[in-house]
Amino acid sequence: MIYLDDDIDGFDLESALPLLSEQRRKQVLRFKYELGRKTCAMAYILLRRALHEEYGIDEAPMFEYGEHGKPYIVGHPDIHFNVSHCRQAVVCAVSDQPVGIDVESIREYKDSLVHYTMNEEEVSQIEHAERPDVEFIRLWTMKEAVLKLSGDGISNDLKTVLTGNEVIETTVVADKGYVWSVARRGN
């Protein structure tokens, strides 16, 4: 299940702080800027909501981390989740199977970044798209979601991330300036 919140300006950080675990509160307060604090707290609040609605869990989750930093919920190894945030939105995915999610702001891209991260077919897709900026971010979120699904983190060769062995859903919210993708393992 996917949970999304794109009302970052309306989020009351002070009211949310008591709802965070001590572990998450410390992480939130390490951010230098308010936007980072808000989006980090919002991601946790979305996860709490998802855990309540999907699994009836009301306690504040605590995290441990895998070899490459992918978090998992202590005491609930059967629940898989992933969160992401950008300037415009926060997303959370929860599932009984591994899942990866990424949200990114639509922004101008650099040709050098496109050629470093995309294979020839993807470069062609971007160059021939009506909105190359949106197409780049769409492909980027797909790659990030797949990497977060596997828990491997960003690899050295981003050109080969999308193998077709995964199921990826992408949503473009152009009017609000962001794109998000969720990845699950294919059958």
Instruction: Kindly report the average pLDDT of the chain as a whole number.
Output: 94
Q: Considering the entire predicted model, what is its pTM?
A: 0.93
Average pLDDT over residues 90-110: 95
Q: Is the pLDDT of residue 156 over 80?
A: no
Terminal CA-to-CA distance of the chain, rounded, Å? 18
> What is d(CA 55, CA 50) in angstroms, rounded to the nearest whole number?
8
Contact 125, 139 (CB under 8 A): yes
Q: Is the pLDDT of residue 54 over 70?
A: yes
> What is d(CA 55, CA 5) in angstroms, rounded to the nearest whole number?
20
The pLDDT, as a whole number, for residue 115 is: 93
Beta bridge partners of 94: 81
How would you classify the pairing of strands 99-105 and 178-185? Answer: antiparallel
Higher confidence at residue 154 or residue 179?
179
Q: For 61-88, how does the pLDDT look when each residue is reduced to its tens digit (9 = 90+)? A: 999 988 878 889 999 999 999 999 999 9
* Residues above pLDDT 70, as percent of the chain: 98
Q: Among 48, 42, 149, 136, which residue's Cα sits nearest to residue 86? A: 42
Tokens standing for residue 64: 């441990």
Give the confidence band of 107 by pLDDT, cuts at 50, 70, 90.
very high
Strands, sheet with 166-173, edge to edge from the N-terminal-most edge strand: 99-105, 178-185, 166-173
Q: Is the pLDDT of residue 134 over 80?
A: yes
Contact 13, 38 (CB under 8 A): yes
Tokens standing for residue 151: 């828990």
Residue-wise burial string across 3-31, b where 16 or more C-beta atoms lie within 10 A, e elsewhere: bbbbebeebebeebeeebeeebbebbeee
* Cα separation values, 100 from 30, 84, 129, Å: 24, 9, 25
Tokens standing for residue 3: 């949970």
Contact 107, 133 (CB under 8 A): yes
